[in-house]
Amino acid sequence: MSLYFTKEHEWIRVEGSAATVGISDHAQHALGDLVFVDVPEVGRILTAGEACAVVESVKAASDVYSPVAGEVTARNPDLVATPEVINEDPYGKGWLMRVRPSSSGALAGLLSAKDYEALLAEEGA
């Protein structure tokens, strides 16, 4: 159960036919204290790279892009009342949505954890 990343700082973990999506620790740290999160409705069909959610902090609002194409199957209900859970646990309780990828090759082109760390190092993060 490995995490994969996008260059835009989203993460995805595929478990069977479902994929859980969130923003990376680096992204939540850069944004600061999150105060609002808007994720797509269940049933929405996403394309890979599509802006599909918004995370808003005391500093700025930022789009979240879908790492894969597929259908949204769940939203994290805890984020409505406690968006700061993303700051506290971005890879666990701070997930944004679950997606059923439309392709078995959905992870092609995404970064491994090692490649993502290298990207952050190149960016000086």
Residue 50 tokens read as 């599509």
pLDDT tens per residue across span 22-80: 999 999 999 999 999 999 999 999 999 999 999 999 988 999 999 999 999 999 999 99
Q: How far is CA 111 from CA 74, 106, 107, in A?
A: 24, 12, 9
SS3 79: helix
Neighbours of 90 (CB within 10 A): 21
What is the value of pTM for the model shown?
0.93
* Structural domains in the chain plus CATH codes: 3-103 (2.40.50.100)
Contact 69, 102 (CB under 8 A): yes
Contact 27, 9 (CB under 8 A): yes
Q: Is the pLDDT of residue 88 over 90?
A: yes
